[in-house]
Amino acid sequence: MDCACSLDSIPAEFHNVKLVVAKKEHRCGECGHIIQPGETYEYVFGKWGGMTDYYNTCLRCVDLRDLVSEYYGGCFYYECLFDHYFELLSINMNYEEAQEQVDRIRDKHRNAS
């Protein structure tokens, strides 16, 4: 099973990943950044457990997700980036430090232009 293609441990029946240029505003499902028209973002459409779903992710979060998922053997769940990031940071930081770092990076991504 390709973990990047799973949702709550349910393997994707199919999924398509592509980089697209926004024609209208979208919200990043990871950090909440408003993806502006003309901005490139990752669009994923797939079917998990008989239900279709889609995910929009800004490129900053795609880059961070790629780095974080390396630790987990390439596995990740869509819209859980900062949970995975927290788990990774908390290996070497106490809870408060790890949460502060996660909040700082999420806010930086969300407010980037």
The model's pTM is 0.83
With CA atoms as reference, report the closest residue to 82 among 35, 100, 59: 100
Give the percent of the chain with pLDDT over 70. Answer: 91
Structure tokens belonging to residue 109: 């991504």
Q: How far apart are alpha carbons 54 and 31 in whole angstroms?
A: 16
Edge-to-edge strand ranges of the sheet holding 6-7: 6-7, 10-21, 40-48, 51-58
What phi and psi values does residue 21 have, to the nearest 5 degrees? -100, 125
Helix (H, G, I), strand (E, B) or coil at 33: coil
Is 10 exposed, middle or buried (CB count within 10 Å of its CB: 0-12, 13-18, 19+)? middle
Domain assignments of the chain as residue spans, ordered by start: 3-110
Helix (H, G, I), strand (E, B) or coil at 38: coil
Say yes or no to pLDDT of 91 above 70: yes
Residues 20-51 pLDDT 10s: 999 999 999 999 999 999 999 999 999 988 99
